Amino acid sequence: MSAAGPLGMSLRGWSAWTPGLTAPAAWLTWARGGVAARRETAPPALGEFPPLLRRRADRMGRAALHVLTRPELPYTGQAIVMCSRLGEIGRSFGLQKELASEGSVSPQQFGMSVHHAIGGLFMMAKKARVPLTALAAGEEGALAGLQEAAAQLADGAGILWLLFCEEPLPTEYRSFAASPEDGTDHYAFVLELAAGDEFRLAKDAEHAAPATRRVASPLDLLAFLLCPSDDAIRLSPRGGWTLCRAGRKLA
pLDDT of 166-207, one tens digit each?
988 766 666 666 665 555 678 999 999 999 989 999 886 554
Helix (H) or strand (E) holding 8: strand 7-17
Asked if 15 and 73 touch (Cβ cutoff 8 Å), the reply is yes
How many C-beta atoms surround the C-beta of residue 239 within 10 A? 14
SS3 210: coil
Burial 112-121 (b: 16+ CB within 10 A, else e): bbebbbbbbb
| pLDDT tens-digit readout, 62-89 | 999 999 999 889 999 999 999 998 878 7
Name the CATH architecture for the domain at 10-200. 3-Layer(aba) Sandwich (3.40)
Give the Å distances, CA to CA, from 24 to 27, 34, 133: 5, 13, 26
pLDDT of 210 > 50? The answer is no
pLDDT of 222 > 70? The answer is yes
Q: What is the value of pTM for the model shown?
A: 0.85
Give the Å distances, CA to CA, from 197 to 1, 10, 240: 15, 6, 20
Q: How far apart are CA 198 and CA 209, in angstroms?
A: 23
| pLDDT tens-digit readout, 118-134 | 888 999 999 999 999 99
pLDDT at 67: 94
Q: Whats the size of the chain, residue-wise?
A: 251
Mean pLDDT of the chain: 81
Determine the average pLDDT of the residues in 93-102. 69
Radius of gyration of the chain (CA): 18
Distance of CA 8 to the CA centre of its chain: 19
pLDDT at 177: 64
Angle (CA) 204-209-213 rounded to 5° is 145
Segments making up each domain of the chain, as ranges: 10-200
